[in-house]
Amino acid sequence: MHRRELKEAPALHVENVALIEDDLKELFAELRRVESADVPSDVPFTHLGGDSLTGVLFVRRVNQRYDTNIPPITLLQRDFTVSAFASYLIDNAVNAAPVISDWCAEVDAVWAEHCSFLLDREKDKSGELEQKTYQEGDTYFLTGVTGFLGKHVLMELLLADWLKDKKFLCLVRGKDEADGKARVRAALLEAMSPPHPASYVDDLLARVTVIVGDGEKKFFGLSEEGFATLCTEVIAVYHVASNTNTLLDYHALKPSNVLGAVEAMRVAHVAG
């Protein structure tokens, strides 16, 4: 089937909903190598052969054509029909996150808003936290230890002979410290290869302290006092936490993958 020549995309206004539906059918039909007349308006894309790969390609083309910024996962999570997706595009046209065309400007904006504390060797930009003088400590700070990669990083550090006298402070999500510690324990049991008795992992956990927080928030969701206390004995930072969902766009990933890294840098900065 030859690639269809599409007309100019209709404006995202409610009076154009029928035109938008027809346009979406054309885009989807081309990916599925069928005729647009065979794409009904009231059947979910997933029932029309729209798997995750097709969904990503389809939403990418929609975003390019309509200058929108719809995350591909939206199509699959909401199980849209053509009709419902057309209405969604119209409803979100005004409130959609802006498409970033100048990434250098975005980096500059993030730096100006969140990272200027790195330019001051004494305090962060708001003067809240003083940087401590470097001293020998015994604690390694880690994030993301319950994730696919992080659990292996923590396990390797716990097993390293040169770190056998060190302690590990791990930031995790959880209802409370006990819940967080249980999540770390489960992650280490998964990471242990070959499998060892649970008692062996429990011995390793004796060197692990859990602090419950949020990797997407300033000070990791802790109070200023709590954050400063966290930094007191930290001598190294292993920031492993990240959102690796490739279906999400930059705006959805920014809190965890960009601002989370900023807070990890803040720990290293305050810790000296």
**Residue-wise pLDDT tens digits, 192-213:** 888 888 899 999 999 999 999 9
Q: Exposure of 127 by Cβ count < 10 A (0-12 exposed, 13-18 middle, 19+ buried)?
A: exposed
Q: If you average pLDDT over residues 53-58, what whole number do you get?
A: 87
Q: Which comes out higher in pLDDT, residue 178 or 126?
A: 178
Whole-prediction pTM? 0.67
Q: What is the pLDDT of residue 129?
A: 59
Q: What is the pLDDT of residue 55?
A: 85
Res 3 pLDDT > 60: no
Q: If you average pLDDT over residues 100-128, what whole number do you get?
A: 76
Confidence of residue 97 (pLDDT cuts 50, 70, 90): low
Q: Are 32 and 109 in contact (CB under 8 A)?
A: no
- At 173, list the tokens: 């999500």
The C-alpha angle with vertex 144 and arms to 139 and 145, in degrees rounded to 5, equals 65
Q: If you average pLDDT over residues 31-58, what whole number do you get?
A: 87
Q: If you average pLDDT over residues 212-236, what whole number do you get?
A: 92
Q: What is the pLDDT of residue 76?
A: 73
Q: What is the pLDDT of residue 32?
A: 87
Which whole-number Å values give the CA distances from 205 to 34, 157, 183, in the listed order? 57, 12, 11
Confidence of residue 56 (pLDDT cuts 50, 70, 90): confident
Cα Rg, the chain, nearest whole Å:
24
CA distance 77 to 72: 9
Res 124 pLDDT > 60: no
Q: 194: cis peptide before it, omega within 30°?
A: yes
